[in-house]
Amino acid sequence: MTVQLDDVTVHFGRTCALESCTLTVAAGETVALLGPSGSGKSTALKAVAGFVRPSSGRIRLDGQDVTELPPAKRGIGVVVQQYALFPHLRVEDNVAFGLRAARRPKGEVTRRVAEMLGLVGMTSYARRFPRELSGGQQQRVAIARALAIRPKVLLLDEPLAALDAQLRADLLIELQNLRREVPTLAIIYVTHDQSEALALADRIAVMRDARLIDLAPTTTLYQTPPSAFTASFLGNANLLPIKSSNNEVTVAGHVIPGVQPISGKELLCIRPHAVRLGAGGVPGRVTGVQWRGASYQLTCEVADVLVRVDLAADGAVPAVGADVQLVLPSEACSLVSR
């Protein structure tokens, strides 16, 4: 099923929580809404689910206008950050909730609940109450409950944000598997965590200050970010001010070979892992060294700008205060506007 947001604006009192958001998610596609808190990503999701009413714009499911429909009539699965499992119901009754609301026959409910609990690996917990489960287990049940009603659209609102790092990684893999199990499902995935967005999404919509600012396929957005905000938010890119002249781009007076100037783009974007140390690069000074287990992250000062550099942990690491030269390979550089 295709989800369409057509110029949707949401106001809460006087504050504008979402401003003319237009987005289409195709059947089988996963789109991540990525942005800092307060950027409007959750509001967009709530508008699709029907929890908030847009002050203008339309929401369509498969071309049909659902803007005025209550959430119960939309048939959309929703998973939220705090799980929202009904605390007074056992796991199996939580999963059966939507099926019973639709008055499905008893036998079908039992079968579907067993199937869903099997899908998320929670079969042996059917008789437990939510408070007897860990956070990760609760979120699995919440996913099973949302999928039990066979939704054609699944909305995930920061589903992993309340879990610790190890569980988050595990559940991320399970979500990837889930996409293969239900191939026609359209998924909107709200997160502030770029690694979740990169791992799951076909396309990423970057949001900032109630607006959708960039929307592109995941790899495109990562490799050639269209804006400075997206570049730094997605992949923590370095942004270096440049001077352009006569088909040459210079950083701190040093020509970067192979990079062509583009008018109006005044920043050079390069990922920390793409920067190399070596002869003939832009001169800089090391101001910090952080060991990260598999790598070191150096902070270098280049013409008043701090540049992050990832170094393999097995190589030589310069000390703080050392003068280094930063090589910026042209294939890893892209130019963005301020």
| Residue numbers at the binding site for another protein (CB under 8 A) | 46, 49-51, 70-78, 80, 82, 84, 86-88, 97-98, 101-102, 130-131, 145-146, 149
Helices (H) and strands (E) in the chain, counts: 8, 20
Q: Toward another protein, which CB reaches closer, 130 or 225?
A: 130
Say how far apart CA 182 and CA 144 lie, in whole Å.
Answer: 12
Q: Toward another protein, which CB reaches closer, 70 or 278?
A: 70
Least distance CB 117 / another protein (angstroms): 16
Distances (CA, A) of 71 to 75, 151, 277, 298, 337: 7, 12, 55, 49, 40
Least distance CB 89 / another protein (angstroms): 8
- In 10 A of CB 78, how many CB atoms? 22
Kindly give the interhelix angle for 91-101 and 106-119, rounded to the nearest 10 degrees: 130
Least distance CB 84 / another protein (angstroms): 4
Least distance CB 56 / another protein (angstroms): 20
Helices assigned H by DSSP within the chain? 41-49, 91-101, 106-119, 135-148, 165-181, 194-200, 218-223, 228-233
Q: Toward another protein, which CB reaches closer, 97 or 233?
A: 97
Least distance CB 19 / another protein (angstroms): 23
Say how far apart CA 256 and CA 203 lie, in whole Å.
Answer: 31
- In 10 A of CB 313, how many CB atoms? 12
Q: Toward another protein, which CB reaches closer, 146 or 268?
A: 146
Q: Toward another protein, which CB reaches closer, 49 or 91?
A: 49
152 residue type, one letter: K
In the chain, the largest separation of any two C-alpha atoms, in whole Å, equals: 76
Q: Toward another protein, which CB reaches closer, 83 or 233?
A: 83
Say how far apart CA 222 and CA 295 lie, in whole Å.
Answer: 21
Least distance CB 157 / another protein (angstroms): 9
